[in-house]
Chains A and B, each alone.
Chain A
Amino acid sequence: METLWRGLVEALYLLLSLDPTVWRIALRTLAISGSATVLSALLGIPLGIWLVLGRVPARRFWLTLTHTGMALPPVVVGLMVALLLWRTGPLGFLEWIYTPTAMVIAQTILATPMVAGVMVSGLQALGQEARWQLLGLGASGFQAAWVLVQQARGALLAAVMAGFGTAVSEVGASLMVGGNLKGYTRVLTTAVVLETRRGNFARALALGFILLGLAFWVNAMLTVLQQREADPDS
């Protein structure tokens, strides 16, 4: 109990005193997970749109695959990426293992199905009817998709945020392909693991708080968005 209490006080101190190590880790996390989010949005959003509105052979199979992808175990992704980027691996010549690039790749792989999956449910919620109505008014496939994506813009933002949530909270893959190198590939989650293992609970807690803060911020934005979507005037 005492450990917890002392940890909390120290954590607050570290946060409020703007401890440079802690904040640099936070900024690095934002940079790496932010990049992964942008990439996964660029891949996942078109993928989601295509899965629902495109002429997809065996659509159900691909949808199942996407939904499975939403629950990909990070360590498995970490292992795959590590095997690819390993110095003796097929992409070893790139020398990306234990770099932020490797982490961005791993997080993108984890976040893309999440983005696509949320996009898929958003578009499916509009229903077959909306699509038929547009086609029945003479929309080309592309025009219909454009209107539908506009209708589902709430889902679009939700998808990006879900992607960010996945990227920023994941630890297994980052640890395996990033190596948790101090000042280089150490991010919030990997640092929490390290500090906890070392018994530096105060530091771990401080980092944990920042992570929680990020998660809170993401969800607050989502809530605001959803409320705006529910307004028929929008």
Chain B
Amino acid sequence: MSVLLEARGLWLPRGRHWTLNVPHLQVQEGEILTLLGPNGAGKSTLVAVLAGLLPPRRGELRFRGRVVDFRRNLDYRRRIAVVLQRPVLFRGTVWANVEMGLRFRGVPPAVRREKVQRWLQRLGLGELAQRPARRLSGGQAQRVALARALVLDPDLLFLDEPFQALDAPTRRDLLLELRDLLQAEGRTAVYVTHDLTEGLALAHRVAVMVEGRIRQIGPPEAILYRPVDLQVARLVGMENVLPCRVQAKERQLAFVEACGCRCTALAAEDVTPGAPAYLGLRPEALMLTLEEPQAGTSARNRFPARVRRIWPQGALMRVQVQTESGCTLWASVTYLAAQELGLDEGQRVWVVFKASAAWVFREGEGSRLSAVGSPQ
């Protein structure tokens, strides 16, 4: 894979509380990169800068190795396409809206007609072609916005929370459709979202943004299971984060003491013995058993605990347990498993987890920031 877009040293103060600060970011040819972060993290600002719409105070952008001028970048903007959070549709018919970008490029009418027709069909808008664009429902309008971008056959597609305003079923349908469209053509895209599920549905790589910075970038499994700091852990749904003390470290494995128990877990590189750190556990990584597991099984970590609360969530049960040392953990088990175990409040259980599903990380920059109170 080759680098399609590369940003270096992007720096742009925004508002009073944060500054866009991205020392380095690459978008590989053919990948879908998700920018994940809470509202106000600077995702849209970063996209506007990457799309050449908003000049940063400092920094450089290269497309296929060539520097993109932030003032005169029409050539670059004609290789990309942008879909925004709100589908900004203009006066005129659906057809006229989808045709817009082709007209800007001076594409001859016959070619235009053929392309617009094809994309309207592909997005199921054929019937609506002659309808006034501003009379559409939210889902239809966003489809038009997608067609308007895809018809341009862009080398790089920027999608800034395109489905945020839609209801859940419409959003899911469109997301699936978009994934198929993007994958069928191996299209390169930067997809912005604050929704973890949505972000992971599409991404080859995820960049987690907080307060104008990219905190972590990597494949979905790294983001989900190996967050670099507390804020990222919280954002990606790693709900159990226990303070722990690192006793020893051997290559990737750390031996830690957390909540009165000795555990083995994967560890971040900067974790060192003796230093305070955190043990992170996803709720799905926790198994509950009634009897103490045999030593020597692959799941070497266990806590004796007591069930405090059971909270059904669809086909999943969220179970809150309290360890004997007083730590509270959330576990996710299937409805069926909970029934088989006969889980009940007050019951004694063993919480079991594999070393490969547990993650030890250091108190990062994010935790310090959140300690003084983040502006969000």
Interface positions of A (Cβ within 8 A of B): 55, 129-130, 132-140, 143, 147, 150-151, 232-234
Contacts and interface: CB of A to CB of B under 8 A. Distances in A.
Which of A130, A135, A137, A232 gathers the greatest number of chain B CB atoms within 10 Å? Answer: A137
A233 B84 contact: no
A68 to B, nearest CB: 28
Contacts of A143: 104
Nearest to B101: A137
A137 B53 contact: no
14 contacts: A129-B86, A132-B51, A133-B88, A136-B51, A136-B158, A137-B100, A137-B104, A138-B81, A138-B152, A143-B104, A232-B132, A232-B135, A233-B132, A233-B134
B104 A151 contact: no
A141 to B, nearest CB: 8
Which of A132, A138, A140, A147 gathers the greatest number of chain B CB atoms within 10 Å? Answer: A138
Given A147-B90, A151-B90, A234-B91, A137 B82 contact: yes
Given A136-B53, A233-B132, 13 more contacts: A129-B88, A130-B90, A132-B82, A134-B100, A136-B77, A136-B82, A137-B81, A138-B101, A138-B152, A139-B101, A140-B74, A140-B104, A151-B91
A133 B84 CA distance: 7
A138 B88 contact: no
Given A129-B84, A151-B90, A135 B135 contact: no
Interface in B9-68: 48, 51-54
Q: Which 6 A-B pairs have the closest CB atoms?
A: A136-B82, A137-B101, A138-B78, A133-B88, A232-B134, A139-B104
B286 interface: no
Interface in B81-112: 81-82, 84, 86, 88, 90-91, 100-101, 104-105
A138 B105 contact: yes
B80 A136 contact: yes
A153 B74 CA distance: 26
B77 A135 contact: yes
B372 to A, nearest CB: 32
Given A147-B90, A150-B91, A232-B134, A136 B84 contact: yes
Contacts of B101: 137-139
B148 interface: yes
B149 interface: yes
Nearest to B78: A138
Contacts of B135: 232-233
Interface string B168-184: 00000000000000000
Contacts of A130: 88, 90
A55 B55 CA distance: 12
Contacts of B148: 137
Nearest to A229: B91
A150 to B, nearest CB: 7
A151 B134 CA distance: 12
B35 to A, nearest CB: 16
B84 A132 contact: yes
Nearest to B92: A150
B231 to A, nearest CB: 28
Nearest to A234: B91
A52 B55 CA distance: 17
Contacts of B149: 137
A138 B91 contact: no
Contacts of A139: 77, 101, 104
A127 to B, nearest CB: 8
A43 B148 CA distance: 35
A132 B286 CA distance: 46
B191 to A, nearest CB: 15
A130 B84 CA distance: 10
Nearest to B76: A138
Contacts of A129: 84, 86, 88
Contacts of B74: 138, 140
A199 to B, nearest CB: 55
Contacts of A136: 51, 53, 77, 80-82, 84, 158
Nearest to A232: B134
A182 B276 CA distance: 94
